[in-house]
Amino acid sequence: MTTTSDKNALRSALRKRLRENAPQNHKELQKRLGGLLAQENAECCIGYLAFQQEPVLDQLLGKWLAHNRKLLLPRFNAATRQYELVEVTDFNSQIAPGHYGIREPKLQLVAIKQVIDNTVWLVPGLAFTENGVRLGRGAGYYDRLFMQFPKGKRIGIAWEMQLLPEIPQEPWDLPMDCIVTESRTIDCRVPLT
């Protein structure tokens, strides 16, 4: 079996598991993540708007905006078939359903060309390992965003049930710096014993 087929089989099993058993403790995860973001003292957050069973971060992102901090969200660009980052200042007027039915910044907003140094990424995924390996949905969108905008601390956002002992890894898979779940924060830069 190849790494790609291993990943695809794992994705299929994880999607089914999440549909059947996804936790709903969004507030506890947002509280834990909010504490971590306060410690990071970042000027810019690259967030996401939840899709299907992903942890919902809307309340936390709204608080981020209320403190006049920069928030970037991914938006699918149909011409390039890739995601781009767009600054959002108001959820109510600047967000609409987009590609795959995922809420994203409206088309009239301009995509950014660079990310500032003091940035933190909030990264969804289907699964993570405690040493930071991430399994995404399989299209490589986040891998390409990380290559285009390499600055910033990458924080994986997941339910505890999405943590696995191992995930097949490709050379281009960049690890997370830490992972936040509803019950703990894992520093992926510390070697596991």
161 token code pair = 């049930």
Q: Cβ distance 9 to 126 under 8 Å?
A: no
Q: How far apart are CA 14 and CA 41, in angstroms?
A: 33
CATH number of the domain that residue 95 is part of:
3.40.50.10420
54 lies in which domain range?
3-187
Q: How many structural domains does the chain have?
A: 1
Q: Given this model, what pLDDT does residue 2 score? A: 57
pLDDT of 1 > 60? The answer is no
What pTM value is reported for the model? 0.88
- Give the mean model confidence (pLDDT) for residues 159-170: 87
Which residue has better confidence, 89 or 100? 89
Mean pLDDT of all residues in the chain? 86
User: 134: how many CB neighbours lie within 10 A of its CB?
Assistant: 25
Q: Is residue 192 assigned to a domain?
A: no
Where does the chain have alpha helices with state H? 3-21, 26-40, 58-66, 91-94, 141-148
Apex 145 CA angle, 143 and 149, nearest 5: 120
How far, in Å, CA of 98 to CA of 114, rounded? 23
Please check the confidence at residue 193 and state whether its pLDDT lies above 70: no
- Report pLDDT for 99: 83
Asked if residue 75 is part of any domain, the answer here is: yes
